[in-house]
Amino acid sequence: MIMTILYYILTGFIAFLIIWNLLKSKKWQEEILYIIILMPFLLRLFRLK
């Protein structure tokens, strides 16, 4: 259970980093890439997949 909670915290932190990079990026290709790679992290955080 502790490991599961730690993994969710880790997932949330990585999702935060991706969103941060998305906000800072000035290249449209990178922005699309960040949005795509963000999805599995959010799906796990929202407990959908």
Per rule CB under 8 A, is residue 36 in the interface with other proteins?
A: yes
Sign of torsion over alpha carbons 35, 39, 41, 43? positive
Tell me whether residue 17 or residue 32 sits nearer to other proteins (CB atom): 32
Interface residue with other proteins among 14, 17, 18, 23 (CB under 8 A) is 23
Largest CA distance in the chain: 40
**How many other CB atoms sit within 10 Å of the CB of residue 41?**
19
Per rule CB under 8 A, is residue 43 in the interface with other proteins?
A: yes
**How many other CB atoms sit within 10 Å of the CB of residue 16?**
11
The residues of the shown chain that bind other proteins, judged by CB under 8 A, are: 3-4, 7, 22-23, 26, 28, 31-32, 35-36, 38-39, 42-44, 46-49
